[in-house]
Structure 1
C-alpha cells in the first residue's frame, strides 16, 4: 500500500515534468538555423503555414524533438532497471558498456553489410539489440560469483572496461573505412542525434509501447530484487530468472534508443536518481517520473546543443556529458 500523500506528490511532479517537456518542445520548434516565429507556430501546426514553415516544422524539427524525447525516456527506464537489478546506483547503459556493444554491432552492420534504404531504419534497433545482448551477457557472466551471486561493484568495473575496449574496437573498425561512413560513425560516437525522420520514430516507438507497461507490471519484482538476495529468495522471487528478464528489457530499451541517437550516456544514471530523490525509491512511484525526466533531459540537452553553435551545433551526447560526468564522480565518491 502506497501512502496517498506520496501518490499525490508523484502526480504533482509528473504534471511539472509534462509541463517542462511541453515548454521545451515549443521552444525547440521555434529555435534553430531556420527560425520559425512563435506567432506562426500554431497556424503551421494546423496546416495553414507556408511551404517553408511546414517543411521546417514537420520534416526537420518535430521528428527530431519526438526522437530525442522517446530516446531519453528509453535510456532513463533502462538505467532505472539496471540500478534495480544490480543494486548499484552507478549502473547506466552507457557507463557499463551496453551502449558501446550496440554501437559496435551498428558499425559492423553499417560498414560491411549491404544496406537497403527501406529496411535499414527498422533493422538498426534489432542489430543494436543483438550487440548489446552479447555485451551484457559477457559482463553478467564475469561479474557473477557462484557463491555470492551478482557482484554490483564488479559489474560496474567490468562494464567500464568493456566500454573502453569496445570503443577501441570501434576506432579500429573505422580506421580503414570509407570517409562518408567514418563520418557517420564518428557522429554516432559523439551522441549526435542522426535519426531525425518519421520512420525512425516508428522504429523506436513500439519498443517503448511494449516495454514501459511491462516494466511497470514488474515494478514490485524490481522492489524485491533491490533487497538482498536471501531476502528476495525468502519471499518467493526466482531471482536469476527475474533478473535476466529485466536485464533483457533494459538492454532492449537502451539498444533501441542509441540505434537512432548515437552513444549517449548518463541519462540513465541521472533521471532515476533525481526521480528517487523526489518521490522515494519504490519503483511504482519513481519509474514514471524517471521516464518523463529522462525524455526532458535529452530533449533539453539537444535543443540547447543545436542552438549554441550554428548550423552544426554541439552533439546532445556531449551536452549530456557536461552534466553527467561530474554527477557520476559525485555519486562515485558518495557511494
Structure 2
C-alpha cells in the first residue's frame, strides 16, 4: 500500500508538471523566427487567423512542439526502464550507446539506400529500432555473465565503449557521403529537432501508444527487478525474460524518439532521478512523473534554444547536454 502522503505528492507533482507543460507550449507557440502575437493565438487556434498566422501555428510551431514533447516523454520512460532493469542510476539510452546504434542505422539508411518520400517517414522508427536493438543486444551480451547475471557497472562501461566505437563508424560514413546528406546527419548528431511535420508525429505515436501503457503495466515487475536477484527469484520473477522484454521496450521507445529528434542524451538520465526524488522509487508513480518531466524538459530546452541564435537557434541536444553533462558528473561523484 502506498502512503497517502506520497499519493498527495504525486498528484501535486503531476498537476504542476501539466501546468508547466501548458505554459511552455503557449510560450513556444508565440516564440520563433516568425513572430506570432499571443493575442492572436486563440483566434488562430479557432480558425480565425490570417493565412500566415495559421501556417506558422499549424505547419511550423505545433508539429515541433508535439514531436518534442512526445520524444522527451519516450526518452524519459526508456531511461526509467533501463535504470530499473540494470539497477544502475547511470543508465540512459544516450549514454549506454542505444542512441548511437539507432543513429548509425539511420545514417546508413539515409546515405546509401534509395528513399521513397511516401514511406521514408514511417520507416525511420523501424530502422532506428533495428540499429538500436542490435546494439543493445551486443551490449547486453558483453555485460552479462552466465553465473553472476547482468553486471550494472559493466553495462554502463560497455555501453560507453560501444557509443564511442559507433561514433567512429558515423565519422567514416559521413566522410564518404554527399555534402547535402552530411548536413542532415550533422544536425541529427547535434540533437536538432528535425522531424517537425505532422507525418513524423503519426509515425511515432503508435509506438508510444503501445509501449508506454505496457511499461506502466509492467511497473510492479520493474519494482521487483530493482531488488537483489535472489529476492526477485524468490517472489517468482523470471529475471532473464523480464529483463529482455523490458530492454526491447526501452530500445523501441528510445529509437522512436531519436529517429525524429536526433541524438539527444541525458533526458533518460535526469527525468527518472528527479521523479524518484519527488515521489519515491515505486515505478507506478515515478514513471508517469518522469514521463512528464522528460517531455517538459526537452520542450523547454528546444524553446529556449530556438531563441538564442536566429534563425536556427541552438540544437535541443546541445541545450540538454549543457545541463545533463554536469548532472552526470555529479552522479558519478556521488557514487564514488
TM-score, normalised with respect to structure 2 = 0.99
What is the 5 A alignment of 1:1-335?
1-335=1-335
Q: Distance in 2 between matches of 1:147 and 1:17?
A: 43
Q: Distance in 1 between matches of 2:43 and 2:118?
A: 32
Structure 2: unaligned runs, 5 residues or longer? none
Large movers: runs of 4+ above 4 Å: none
| SS, match of residue 317 in structure 1 | helix
Q: Distance in 2 between matches of 1:81 and 1:133?
A: 15
Residue by residue, what CA displacement relative to the aligned partner does 1:72-125 show, whole Å, maximum 9, x if unpaired?
A: 000000000000000000000000000000000000000111001110000000
Structure 1: unaligned runs, 5 residues or longer? none
TM-superposed CA distance for 1:24, in Å, is 0.2
RMSD across aligned positions (CA): 0.5
Q: Distance in 1 between matches of 2:111 and 2:30?
A: 36
Residue by residue, what CA displacement relative to the aligned partner does 1:111-167 show, whole Å, maximum 9, x if unpaired?
A: 111001110000000000000000000000000011110000000000000001101
Q: Distance in 1 between matches of 2:312 and 2:175?
A: 24
Q: Distance in 2 between matches of 1:196 and 1:189?
A: 16
TM-superposed CA distance for 1:36, in Å, is 0.2
| SS, match of residue 115 in structure 2 | coil
Q: Distance in 2 between matches of 1:116 and 1:199?
A: 14
TM-score, normalised with respect to structure 1 = 0.99
TM-superposed CA distance for 1:257, in Å, is 0.1
TM-superposed CA distance for 1:7, in Å, is 1.2
Q: Distance in 2 between matches of 1:147 and 1:244?
A: 17
Q: Distance in 2 between matches of 1:201 and 1:222?
A: 28
Q: Distance in 1 between matches of 2:215 and 2:204?
A: 17
TM-superposed CA distance for 1:22, in Å, is 0.2
| SS, match of residue 118 in structure 2 | helix
Q: Distance in 2 between matches of 1:321 and 1:309?
A: 17
Q: Distance in 2 between matches of 1:272 and 1:254?
A: 14
Q: How many residue pairs end up in the alignment?
A: 335
Residue by residue, what CA displacement relative to the aligned partner does 1:10-57 show, whole Å, maximum 9, x if unpaired?
A: 011000000000000000000000000000010000000000000000
Q: Distance in 1 between matches of 2:29 and 2:41?
A: 8
Q: Distance in 2 between matches of 1:318 and 1:5?
A: 37
Q: Distance in 2 between matches of 1:60 and 1:271?
A: 27
Q: Distance in 1 between matches of 2:152 and 2:112?
A: 36
Q: Distance in 2 between matches of 1:69 and 1:31?
A: 16
TM-superposed CA distance for 1:9, in Å, is 1.3
